[in-house]
Amino acid sequence: MKLKILSSLFLAAIAFVNSYAFAAVTYDDSNDDAGYAQTGDAEVVQGASARANDIIITYADGTTADISSATEIIIRLPDGLNFASTPKYKVEPSTSSLGLTLKDDAGDPTISSPKVIMTDTNGDGGMDRAVVETSTAAALTTTGYNGDTLTISVNVTADSDATVGLKQVTIIQEGKPGNEVDLVNVIKTAPT
């Protein structure tokens, strides 16, 4: 699978190959819903919570098997950051009612309330890893994902001693090596 990482700050490509997929990962600076208004790149003050940049995964390779059923999509935060709440996932299929769907708590496919498994991987008491799984619905085994988009909205809390600077989130799909995308800039004090 090849994964392109795009942002307004840089353009970089990290590639690795398998026979299944190509996906572009970008982030969105327009973080203006749910009361977490941001302008420009997202910022979070040390010891506080804020809305981070959205993670946008667009599946596009021209084939019918961009991402397999029962595939985990993992997002992992760096040290110093934890999730302030469960990430929100929005699926926009390129063809209405067909394509990428995520499992809900009962194991059925849904795009409105996927099952999200949160874990604390570094033992600091906060959740820093979130996992969703794509559906295993029979219809999806023959349905193309070309053009489907998955948007992940994330609210983060920065530790009071979090290192100041730009933080990246690691995205893992198909169990392949992680790829990083700009998520939030940690700052010392709120802008005046």
Long-range CB contacts (within 8 A, 24+) of 5-10? 5/179, 5/180, 5/181, 7/181, 7/182, 8/41, 9/41, 9/166, 9/182, 10/182
- Quote the tokens at residue 176: 């392949």
113-135 pLDDT, tens digit per residue, is: 899 999 999 999 999 999 998 87
143-179 pLDDT, tens digit per residue, is: 556 778 888 999 999 999 999 999 999 988 876 667 8
Task: State the virtual CA torsion across 111, 84, 57, 96 in degrees, nearest 10.
Answer: 20
Please report the domains of the chain, with CATH numbers, ordered by start residue: 2-187 (2.60.40.740)
The mean pLDDT value of the chain amounts to 75
79-90 pLDDT, tens digit per residue, is: 999 999 999 998
State the pTM of this model. Answer: 0.78
40-78 pLDDT, tens digit per residue, is: 578 999 999 999 988 888 776 555 555 777 788 999 999
